Structure 1
Amino acid sequence: MSANRPTEAIDGGVRTRLMRAAELLLASSADGRISTREICSRAGVTAPTLYHHFKDKEALLDAVVLEGFNTYLAQKRAVAWSGDVLEDFRAGWDMHVSFGCEHPAHYRLMFGNPRADQVAPAASVARDEVAHTVAAWGADGHLKIPVDAATQTISAAAVGVALQLIALRADSTHPISTNVRDTVAQALFHPRDAGDDAAVGVSRPARLLLDALPPGSPAPLRPTEVALLREWLTSLSATTE
C-alpha cells in the first residue's frame, strides 16, 4: 500500500484550508472585504489551486455561508423547547445571538450579505423554520400583531443585535441583547396573566381570524364585504385586552 495520502484526502484538506483562511480573514476584516491573494497566502496555496477547488472567490465564500447555515441549523434544532412561548422565544433569541458572537465571520456572511439567502439553500430553511414557529405562536393566540409582522420584527431585531455585538466584539450576555430581546417580547406577546378564555375578550380571536383569512375574496363574500370584514377585524384586534 502506498504511503501517500489519497488524492481525495489531500483535496479535502486543501479545500478546508481555503475555507478556514477565508473565515479567519473575514473575522479580522473591518469591512468584510478580502482578496483572492490574501486567501491564498493565508492558506499557503497558489491562485490556480483555489480555482481548482472553487470556481472563483465568490464560490468559496458561498461554501463558507452554506457551512455556517448548516452549523446554525444544527444548533437551533438542538435547543430544548419548553412549550412556554416566552421562554422558547428567549431561548431561540439567545441561541441566535450566541451563534453570531461565536461565529462572527460566518454570521456576517450569512446575515450581513444580501446574497446569502440566494446562494445557500439552508438560508431558506432557517427562514421557513422561524416563520413556522411564529405562525404556531399566532395560531395559539399568543401574538399581539399579525404573524408576518411578528416574524419580520424578530428577524430584524435579532440580526441587528448580533451584528452590533460582533462590531463591538462583545458576547451574547451583553445588556444590548437582553434589553432588546425583552422589549421585543413585550411588544409581540400577550402577558401570561391575560386571563382564561372567557376573559380574553375579542382582540385575540379577531387577530386569529384576520390571520386566517385567505388572500382575495373567499366565497361567498363579495370584495366589498371582505374589505369591510378586514377593517372590522383589524380594529377589533387592536383593542386593549
Structure 2
Amino acid sequence: MSENGSAEAIDGDVRTRLMRAAEQLLGASADGQISTREICSLARVTAPTLYHHFADKHALLDAVVLEGFSTYLEGKRAISPSGDVLTDFRTGWDMHVSFGCEHPAHYRLMFGNPQAGQAAPAASLAHDAVARTVAEWGEQGHLKVSVDAATETMSAAAVGVTLQLIAAQADSTHPLSTNVRDTVADALFRPSETGDGVAGAVTRPARQLLDALPHGPLEPLRPTEVALLREWLASLADSST
C-alpha cells in the first residue's frame, strides 16, 4: 500500500489506526516487509506514538496477525463437526492452507521465521487449536500414534505445505496440499471403525489405556508384568485393524 493518498482512510483511536494501517500494508505486501515509517504515515502518527502503544514494530505486527487469525478461528469453530474424523481433518487442513494462501504476509509472520522459544502469538494459538482437536480424536481412539506425535506431524506438514504454496504463488487447491494431506491422514488415523459388538467396546478403551501408561515403572506391578500388560493392550487395541 503506497503513501501517496491512494490508501484507504484510517479512522478510530490511535491504537486502532496503527493496527488498521499495518493490516492494510500487510495485505498489499507479499512478504510482510513493511516499515515503521509506512505504518506511521498511513496512521497519521509519529514513530514515538507507535512506541507508546507497542513495544516495537514487531509487537504491532504480532497483534495484527493474532487478531486476524483469531477471527479466522472463530469462523472455523462455528462449523459443526461432520461426525467423520477424516472429513473433519481434511476440512480443517484445507481451511488452514486456504488462510495462508489468502493471507501470505500474515502467514509468513506467523511461521516463516521460527526462533527457538519465540513462536509468534498467532502461531502458538494455531498450535493450541490443533492440539485440542487432536486430543479429542485421541480420546475417541482414532489415532495410530500418540496425541503429541499426531499434533506435531499435522502442524509441521500443514505449515510446510502452506509456506511452499505461498513461495510458488499457488492456491490451496494445488495437488501438493491434497497429496500431503491424504498421506498424513493415512499415517495418523486408524481405519474406519464399526464400533459394533464386543470388539468395538474393547479396542477403544485398550488404546486409551495404552496411551495413558507411563514410560517408566508402574507400581505395584513388576517390570515384567508391565511389559506383559503393554503387550496385551497393544494386541487388543489392534484387534479391529
TM-score (ref. length: structure 1): 0.76
- Percent identity between the two aligned chains: 68
Task: Give, as a single letter, the amino acid of the residue that structure 2 aligns with 1:28.
Answer: A
Cα distance change, pair 158–197 in 1 and its aligned pair in 2 (3 A): farther
Q: CA deviation at 1:205?
A: 5.8
Cα distance change, pair 124–225 in 1 and its aligned pair in 2 (3 A): farther
Cα distance change, pair 22–117 in 1 and its aligned pair in 2 (3 A): farther
> Which residue pairs with 2:30 in the alignment?
28
> Which residue pairs with 1:168 in the alignment?
168
Give the CA RMSD over aligned residues.
Answer: 3.5
Q: Where do 5+ consecutive residues of structure 1 fail to align?
A: 1-7
Does the CA contact (< 8 Å) of 1:142 and 1:189 recur in 2?
yes
Distance 2:95 2:209 in 1: 32
> Which residue pairs with 2:58 in the alignment?
58
Distance 1:224 1:18 in 2: 65
Q: Where do 5+ consecutive residues of structure 2 fail to align?
A: 1-10
Cα distance change, pair 136–17 in 1 and its aligned pair in 2 (3 A): closer
CA displacement, residues 160-189 of structure 1 (integer Å, 9 cap, x when unaligned): 111111111221111111111111111112
1:4-153 maps to which residues of 2 (within 5 A)?
9-24=12-27, 27-29=29-31, 32-40=32-40, 45-114=45-114, 118=119, 120=121, 123-153=123-153
Q: CA deviation at 1:86?
A: 0.9
Match of 2:192, SS state, is: coil
Match of 1:28, SS state, is: coil
Cα distance change, pair 136–227 in 1 and its aligned pair in 2 (3 A): same
1:182-221 maps to which residues of 2 (within 5 A)?
182-192=182-192, 196=196, 206-214=206-214, 216-221=216-221
Task: Give, as a single letter, the amino acid of the residue that structure 1 aligns with 2:163.
Answer: L
> Which residue pairs with 1:5 in the alignment?
none
Does the CA contact (< 8 Å) of 2:199 and 2:239 recur in 1?
no
TM-score (ref. length: structure 2): 0.76
Distance 2:173 2:218 in 1: 48
